[in-house]
Amino acid sequence: MTLLRKSAQAICAVLFAIAVAGCGSSSAAPTPTPIPDPMEIVTRSITGLATATTLHVDGVLSGSVNAGALGALMGGSYGGLSGQIKVDGASMTGDADMTKQALHLSATFPSLFGISADMFVVDGYLYSKVNALGAKYQKTKVSGSLLTASAAPDATFGFTDTLNQLKARLATPGVTAKLEGHESVDGRDAYHLTLTVPADVLNQEINAAGGAAASGADLTMDPIDYWVYVDTVVPAKLHAKASSATLGNVSVTLTLTKYGQAVTIQAPAEDQVSG
């Protein structure tokens, strides 16, 4: 049971990081004029997240991760856990309220004993519940940014801080973007781009964030497929595949829709939270 609990907690952390990395919205006016520079499309799509309101995200995952190595990389929260966690056929769906820094995400893992997980981020706290481990949510503090190596104990999570750091990472020498053409996403015209991040740049970032625990990760990433809605210049879809002899191999696809639609995200009632 302890192993199962730690496995589920590690999965929740992975899903939360993936979801936040893909979240964003914008109330900006449509942009009918084509943007010829691929990197400008990417940076403008991230800039648009600063005026975020709400969005809906759907995702699918496949592959497996080394739970022990992942736990060490994330600061030892899941230390002592080892072995591969398969996520083949996993799916997730959720909503983000960017103005309130809130997120609700549900996921299912058919290949992992049918485990399902439900997660909320509200007021700087993560509430996570796994069906195999009981009926109550576990409550933990979320660091100030997913892209910061460490944060003060009283730090409050902010989507904007994370996105600003992500935008800065795109200016790293060697990171390139290529416009592949136009495709339809959710019935709308979208730019299709590929982003390439050199392995040395990627591993420098991982080593800076993970310290000694990241040593030997040797992560490689295929070119990232990235779609941006033409009319609003905000993210539409993302497909990424990463592999590491130490951490494992994961493929994830996220689709972002329903921008600006009303959502209500609240923390679970106190009697539903453990402790």
User: Contact, 111 vs 90, CB < 8 A?
Assistant: yes
Largest CA distance in the chain: 56
Alpha-carbon torsion (12, 13, 14, 18), positive or negative: positive
Instruction: Please state the separation of Cα 23 from the chain's center in Å.
Output: 7
At 105 the pLDDT is: 94
Q: What is the pLDDT of residues 245-272, one digit of tens each?
A: 777 888 999 999 998 899 999 999 999 9
Position 270 in a domain: no
- Written as six digits, the tokens of 137 are 């949510």
Position 189 in a domain: yes
H helix or E strand, kind and range, residue 119: strand 115-122
At 135 the pLDDT is: 85
Give the residue numbers spanning the domain of 159.
2-260
- What is the number of domains present in the chain? 1
Instruction: Please give the C-alpha separations between residue 5 and each of 9, 24, 63, 78, 230, in angstroms, as whole numbers.
Output: 6, 31, 20, 10, 43
Q: How far apart are the C-alpha atoms of 112 and 229, rounded to whole Å?
A: 35
Position 274 in a domain: no
At 199 the pLDDT is: 78
* Per-residue pLDDT in tens (0 to 9) along the chain, 275 residues: 444 454 445 555 555 555 555 554 344 444 458 899 999 999 999 887 767 689 999 999 998 877 655 554 444 443 344 567 788 899 999 999 988 889 999 999 888 778 888 999 998 888 988 887 778 998 988 765 444 433 444 545 566 676 777 777 788 888 899 999 999 999 999 999 999 988 777 766 665 554 444 455 677 888 999 999 999 999 999 999 988 877 788 899 999 999 889 999 999 999 999 86
Region of 189 (left: φ > 0; alpha: ψ -120 to 50; beta: rest) is beta
Position 233 in a domain: yes
User: Contact, 119 vs 128, CB < 8 A?
Assistant: yes
Position 108 in a domain: yes
Q: How far apart are the C-alpha atoms of 89 and 195, rounded to whole Å?
A: 25
Position 275 in a domain: no
Q: How far apart are the C-alpha atoms of 106 and 171, rounded to whole Å?
A: 33
Position 183 in a domain: yes
Alpha-carbon torsion (131, 134, 136, 140), positive or negative: negative
Indicate which CATH number applies to the domain containing 32: 2.50.20.20
Q: Which residues contact 3 (CB under 8 A, 6 or more apart)?
A: 81, 83
Q: Which long-range contacts (CB under 8 A, 24 or more apart) does 140-147 make?
A: 146/17, 146/20, 146/21, 147/209
DSSP string for residues in 190-254:
EEEEEEE--HHHHHHHHHHHHGGGGTT---EEPPEEEEEETTT-SEEEEEEEEEETTTEEEEEEE
Position 31 in a domain: yes
At 187 the pLDDT is: 94
pTM recorded for the entire structure: 0.76
Q: At what angle do helices 159-170 and 38-47 cross, to 10 degrees?
A: 170
Q: How far apart are the C-alpha atoms of 148 and 140, rounded to whole Å?
A: 17
Q: How far apart are the C-alpha atoms of 204 and 227, rounded to whole Å?
A: 26
